[in-house]
Chain A
Amino acid sequence: MEQVLTYVGYIFVVIGAIFLFLGGLGIVRLPDIYCRLQAGTKASTLGAMSLILGVGFLQPQWMIKALIIIVFIALSNPLSSHALARGSYRHKIRPWTKEDIDAYAQYIKEQGENEAAEEDKQQEKQES
């Protein structure tokens, strides 16, 4: 039984390590920040989750703590990559595209126009 758990654990650990490596590779190869966020943070998330689960199998009495770390990574990583993507976009970093597909630019533009219009209104009020 223990033998089986060890084998299962090492399978998870090796898969996790490989995904961590693929995440690193994606970060180096992909062309811009948004694509890198895709490959980088998420392949790493799966890699880390799988590796920690594997350690949980190797040391069954650590399983609860390992699961807590997995849940924390699963909850926190999408938040940080989302915050980073939004921050970058608001920082006026445009995504690299082949066919110029960018629905968000439209929204940002409209919002900018609305804000400008409101500022104009306020100025008019102040002047009158």
Chain B
Amino acid sequence: MGITIHLIDYIVLGIISVALLLDFYRFTRGPLASDRVMATDTMTVSTTALLVFLGYLFDRYIYLDIALIYAVLGFIGVIVIARYLEGGV
């Protein structure tokens, strides 16, 4: 069976891509380390949502597990860097 992708799916994917690009703009421009970490965090959350949606489009349940693990790893990374900025690790 083939994968059917409707117009609305393309629209949703497009909006999410623009959101990711905006996050990426902040990530490249900074100007502070905190800004970059925050942009990474936002990108992680957006990517989690994107992975779940892709999982629906491709009809693969495993994408949900990947999204969950991705969210966990992103969360831990942000916490570690925040602790580092605070000066406590």
Contact residues of A with B, CB < 8 Å? Answer: 10, 13-14, 16-18, 20-21, 23-25, 27-28, 33, 36-37, 40-41, 44-45, 47-48, 51-52, 55, 58-59, 62, 65-66, 68-69, 72-73, 76-77, 79-81, 83-84, 86-88, 90-91, 93
When distances are taken between beta carbons in the complex, the residues of chain A under 8 Å from B37 are 84
The range of chain B's interface size is 35 or more
When distances are taken between beta carbons in the complex, the residues of chain A under 8 Å from B19 are 17, 20-21, 23-24, 44, 47
Contact residues of B with A, CB < 8 Å? Answer: 8, 11-12, 15-16, 18-23, 25-26, 32, 34-35, 37-39, 41-42, 45-46, 48-49, 52-53, 55-56, 61, 64-65, 67-68, 71-72, 75, 78-79, 81-87
Secondary structure of the A contact surface, majority rule: helix
CB-based contact A79/B79 at 8 Å? yes
CB-based contact A87/B49 at 8 Å? no
Contacting residue for B8 out of A14, A16, A72, CB 8 A: A14
CB-based contact B35/A33 at 8 Å? yes
